[in-house]
Structure 1
């Protein structure tokens, strides 16, 4: 076994490990500012200098790789003096303004300087006079920047955005957007979390509170179906900031969109419609009104529709309510979004669940993204793909109607002209032609680079993943085309298949039986219009603009004799309800979500609700009671009775749910016959989500401070990127959009 000697003690190491890796694993402290385990090292700060026997100079431990028999000293006077000199050099530019810096109390430089006994700058200098820049939701102070490059590295290697770069030299060296005057990125804030000082800050939190005054609470993401952990900082019961936990990554919504809790459009107390006008009533009045409305209603006359942001416990409780009253008329937003695709997907794989795990994507050596705008649909999945490309040297192939921000990392993009994804998949299957330079086969033929041809790469592959998204499903391309492509990849190679939806608990709807259960939104719309359904209960469903099925269902709600909406808002699809039952948000209660790869993640209560709202579980219990049935009102009881030990989940206590409990899954593999026939060219209008979108929550999350006008938390860009269509002749012609495709931002 290979060993190195650190401070006269032997330690084993694996090939490719640095001295710093070995030291950290064995509890030997070496100070750093620029090192990140998740990215390639830079050796920029030089605080990790160590003495290697035989080397003329001190070596940076983060970029010096362990060799058998190497002897290292990490803590002697020579090492300590040189590290202190490096720290002095860093502090030439960085003012010790700790009393007014937002990072004070959790600043790595502050801690390091204190450890060296440095309470003031050793070398004074004139700092730039106007160092602060505002990049939308992020504040950058170049005076505080220590040029560690963590932000640049993490943005490039962890998110795929490559939105930052270094500019100028020497004393005036600073970080700047790489594409224009402001950031063109996901605004996930990975750079903020990785910054060791106060150079990059969350603009909402900037100068609003001291970190030692915050009470920190952790819960699972209420926005992302990948289920990352989010730490909220609270003061006086109000959220002041959100950030990732440890080395994790979160979305822009997780970090910045929590203000929707304080929206003026929150439903704080029950409301009833009186001649088309909503007025507030008490819960006692609500129960009396509901009892009257529900009296005499037959089981077949009541229906239920659910959104994909409610918890597993809410899904289970509402299902028990419907079972108790004898109705099977349940449907969901997830069924509308994915149901038709799942008809064929489940016929092939024997399940509607995704196959494999997020770690399977990270560990893949070939990844296919088929019609999925990961920035808008599943940033967490994109992060795993970037891990595969950067750290596993994975080949990334994309079939899409546009090129994405991570195009730099894509081995090849196959544009689906006119939304013809089947045609793009056929192109993917083509092997490399014979070399054009037959006379001298030793000359590399760049045009015929074998990495550009999927079959050649698959011959060397061991693990493949495929991600299928909204672009594909909206395009109307037969599901058989991509399922047959799975056959082309092969059962032995294809370890993970993900059908993506942007909603946080869409997989919870699948697991709890709200998708393809024999009753659809189209059927509900028909029965509402005909009068067959007299009472409809809507739990968190909000129609997406530009979705015909959702819009028709939303308009049909008013046809019911009684329309009951259980929602956090009093607007949106709930706005036309006869009775609005205000519910607590996921940040105001407990419960679980099912991630897109089948893990259970737990929600912990972060804040108290500001009104008399009930939880969805309590609402389901109340409705059942009014119809003479009994359903528990306790989320913990619902978890232990209807989630734990059911639907493939192990029988665990709620306290054990930590994001690692995985649903037991199994799948079949049935061949999918498919023969491609090129369709007639017809413009495909693709309605893409605004960036940082999460349905109704993000759109209602921010009221302008002046209250003169309401604006979105993340401003929605009214963009139309035209490929080829006379109707959009005046639109911007974009080289990044496929021919015959018009990409239109949904209007929220």
Structure 2
């Protein structure tokens, strides 16, 4: 094995590793400012200078690759003298505004200056005084920028947005949007978290608090099934900032959308509707009203609609409530999210769970993105896909209804005219055209092939099993991951607890509602923002029950049909767990308490069960330990040690999918898609407060998106119309 000698010690290394990589792995400290392990080396700051035996000059460790027998010194007076000169050069432009800078306390430049023992400037200079640029949710102060390019490369290589570039030269160098005057990106804030100084900050936190005054809590994202955990900073009982855990990424919703818990329209007391008017009641009063309304409640006349914002513990508690009533009539959001495709999926794999983990994408040799706009459905999967492309030289093939902004990274990008994905797969199998022959070569040479399938495929493909049969073409031995993209926070928690395709269906509920067989209906965190015939019928049928009890945060949308409204706490106000894409069991931790009389879903489920003389635990810890641990594939551990690293256990199969391709009849396909930056769980109205003008502007920008057809956009498939949903 190849070896390198650093400071007299011998270390082995892999081909392609830099001196800095080897040093970091073995605990040898080399200072850096521009280096990030998630992106390709930049070599801009020159603080990582080292002395290589035989080289005439000092070398930057981040871009000097290890060679067998190489001898390196990292720590002597000569090296530190030159490193200090490099730091002097950086500080020529950077103003010493630490006392008033938002980055103070977590600034890499500040820490590095202290490490170097530099308490004052060695080279005095006139500092730039350029105005700050406001890019919607991000503020850029070019006066503080050290030109490390971490933001530019992170945006390009980690998110696939490529929304930033460097402009001008020398002393006047600064970062600007790649197109136009503002950013066209995911607004994930990856650039903010990777900025080593205070040049990039999020607008909501700017000048709000000192970082050392924040009490920080790490919790699962309340908005997305595909992203990492979030660190929320709290001051005086209010969330001031959201950021990613070190080395990870979060979505714009998790970073900026936490204000939904303070939305003025949020309901904070129970409501009972009479003669069309909703009057506030105490919890004792509303339980008395419900005891009277639900007296003589019969199982066959009682149903429940359940949403995906709920924790696993809340789902289990509401299941227990329905068990106490004796009813199995539970319909969830899973019945409206790719229902036909997911049934075919289970026939294939024997489970609704994703095959393998989301992080397995990083190791793939070939990734197929099938009918998935990952910006809108699972931005976390897009980031992992980018990691594979940049760092694993992964071949990326997209088959969709339109081109995507990350198509600049694709090896092949194919359009499925008329939603005919099956036809594209058939060409990949047999067509002699250059593109299809190349794809077959990619597959032949690959050891690991991964699939990501999304909403566009499920909504437009007339033969939903086509992609499953294409997986047979790849072969079980090469299929390293098969992931179904979904924007719902805990949809996989609903799947895990057998709340889809195991009994009562949405169509059966609608028939019962239309026949007035359902007298009592519970709406548990369910908001029917779906499109299609089933969703439309459901909206109309919801007028028939005598008693509709809604448990939610906002009395709007579907919840407005309720005559009894019970205010629930949000995911940021409770403890619990979610099941994320790939089966990761993510820990939900209480971040804040919001003023009001809201109760947690587990408390509400327990109170409702009491009306039926049943006992359901109100404590999420007790629910997990007694009702979930060791069941449904949940880890058999105590709730107290859940740490977001455990996974739901599954035993997937790989059944052959019977399939015969049929060319579809010519017909226009209409597919509805979410606007960008929409949570998919909480309505857009709830994602901002009236004081957050930037969020309002961003929301209005989303809603201005146009219908996409091949006539209006040359990058769209023929015979397909993509319409952006409108949320209230």
Contact 2:421 2:461 in 1 (8 A): no
Cα distance change on mapping 1:74 and 1:521 into 2, 3 Å: same
| Map of 1:386 onto structure 2 | 386
Q: How far apart, CA to CA, are the structure 2 residues paired with 1:193 and 1:645? A: 37
Query: What's the counterpart of residue 519 of structure 2?
Result: 534
Find the aligned partners of 2:148 and 2:398 in 1 and give their Cα distance: 33
Is 1:401 equivalent to 2:401 in the alignment?
A: yes
Superposition TM-score, scaled by structure 1 size: 0.94
3-state SS, counterpart of residue 467 of structure 1: strand
Bigger shift: residues 290-299 or 175-184: 175-184
Tell me the residue number matched to 1:414. 414
Q: List per-residue Cα deviations over 1:544-580 (Å, max 9, x = no partner).
A: 1534423432332221010000001122211121101
Q: Is 737-746 or 299-308 further displaced after alignment?
A: 737-746
- 1:632: Cα distance to partner? 1.3
Query: What is the aligned counterpart of 1:550 among 514, 535, 541?
Result: 535
| Structure 2 residue matching 1:243: 3-state secondary structure | strand
Deviation readout 1:687-726 (Å, 9 max, x if unpaired): 111001113344312233299997765742322244257x
Deviations 1:85-129 (A, max 9, x none): 111111111111111111011100011112223233333333333
Q: Which residue of 2 aligns with 1:464?
A: 449
Counterpart in 1 of 2:703? 717
Q: Does residue 339 in structure 1 map to residue 325 in structure 2? A: no
Contact 2:227 2:251 in 1 (8 A): no
Q: Contact (CA 8 Å) 1:225, 1:596: kept in 2 or not?
A: yes
Give the secondary structure class of the aligned counterpart of 1:201. strand
Conserved? CA contact 2:496–2:633, under 8 Å: no
Distance 1:461 1:514 in 2: 37
In the superposition, the TM-score normalised over structure 2's length comes to 0.97
Partners of 1:252 and 1:485 in 2: how far apart? 34
Alpha-carbon distance, 1:431 to partner: 4.5
- State the shift of 1:152 in Å: 1.1
Per the alignment, residue 44 of structure 2 pairs with: 44
Residue 27 of structure 1: how far off its partner (Å): 2.0
Q: How many residues align?
A: 726
Match in the other structure for 1:485:
470
Q: Match for residue 118 of structure 2? A: 118
Match of 1:61 in 2: 61
**Conserved 8 A contact 2:273-2:564:** yes
Deviates more, 1:695-704 or 1:601-610: 695-704
- Which residue in 2 is equivalent to 1:562? 547
Q: Which residue of 1 aligns with 2:330?
A: 330
Deviations 1:157-211 (A, max 9, x none): 1111111111111111111111222111111111110000001111111111111
1:122-161 deviation per Cα after TM superposition (whole angstroms, max 9, x unaligned): 3333333324111111111111111111111111111111
Taking the aligned partners of 1:581 and 1:558, their CA distance within structure 2 comes to 19
Task: Indicate the residue corresponding to 2:246 in structure 1.
Answer: 246
Aligned twin of 1:149:
149
Question: How far apart are the structure 1 equivalents of 2:609 and 2:82?
Answer: 72
Contact residue 702 and residue 711 of structure 1 kept, 8 A? no
| Larger displacement relative to structure 2 (475-484 or 399-408) | 475-484
Alignment of structure 1 residues 649-688 onto 2, 5 Å: 649-688=634-673
Secondary structure of 1:35 counterpart: coil
**Structure-1 separation of matches of 2:361 and 2:91:** 42
Mean Cα deviation higher: 704-713 or 51-60: 704-713
Within 2, Cα distance between the matches of 1:74 and 1:706? 49
State whether residues 398 and 413 of structure 1, in contact with CA within 8 Å, keep that contact through their aligned partners in structure 2.
yes
Tell me which residue corresponds to 2:719.
Answer: 740
Q: For the residues of structure 1 that align with 2:254 and 2:700, how far apart are their CA atoms?
A: 12
1:368-379, aligned counterparts within 5 Å?
Answer: 368-379=368-379
- Structure 1 residue 10: Cα displacement: 2.5
Please tell me whether residue 703 in structure 1 is matched to residue 682 in structure 2.
no
Distance 1:681 1:431, change over 3 A: closer
* Corresponding position of 1:302: 302
How much is the aligned-residue C-alpha RMSD, in angstroms?
1.8
**Contact 1:230–1:242 (CA under 8 A) maintained in structure 2:** yes
Per-residue Cα deviation, 1:55-94 (whole angstroms, up to 9, x for no partner): 1000101111122222222121111111111111111111
Q: Do the aligned residues in 1 keep the contact of 2:136 with 2:698 (CA within 8 Å)?
A: no
Unaligned runs of 5+ in 1: 434-447, 726-732
Is this contact kept in 1: 2:39–2:158, CA < 8 A? yes
The answer for the alignment partner of 1:109 in structure 2 is: 109
Q: Distance in 1 between matches of 2:410 and 2:687?
A: 34
Query: Residues 617-666 of structure 1, C-alpha deviation per residue, up to 9 Å, x if partnerless?
Result: 11111111101212111111110112211112221111221222122211
Change (3 A) 1:16 1:709: closer
Matches within 5 A, 1:143-292: 143-292=143-292
> Is the deviation greater in 197-206 or in 415-424?
415-424
Whether the 8 Å contact between 1:346 and 1:352 is mirrored in structure 2 is: yes
Find the counterpart in structure 2 of residue 614 from structure 1: 599
Query: In structure 1, what is the Cα distance between the partners aligned to 2:694 and 2:482?
Result: 47
| Distance in 2, Cα, partners of 1:421 & 1:187 | 31
The farther-off stretch of 525-534 and 398-407 is 525-534
| Secondary structure, counterpart of 2:445 in structure 1 | coil
1:19-67 Cα offsets, whole Å, 9 max, x none, are 1112222222211100001111011100000111211000101111122
Correspondence for 2:575 among 557, 581, 590: 590
Distance in 1 between residues matched to 2:232 and 2:699, nearest whole Å: 18
Q: Which residue of 2 aligns with 1:443?
A: none
Alignment check: 8 A CA contact 2:93 2:125 kept:
yes
CA distance in 2, matches of 1:101, 1:345: 52
Does the CA-based 8 Å contact 2:365-2:447 persist in structure 1? yes
Inter-partner Cα distance in structure 2 for 1:432 and 1:52: 52
How far apart, CA to CA, are the structure 2 residues paired with 1:482 and 1:365?
Answer: 19
Contact 2:135 2:182 in 1 (8 A): yes
* Counterpart contact for 1:432–1:456, Cα < 8 Å: no
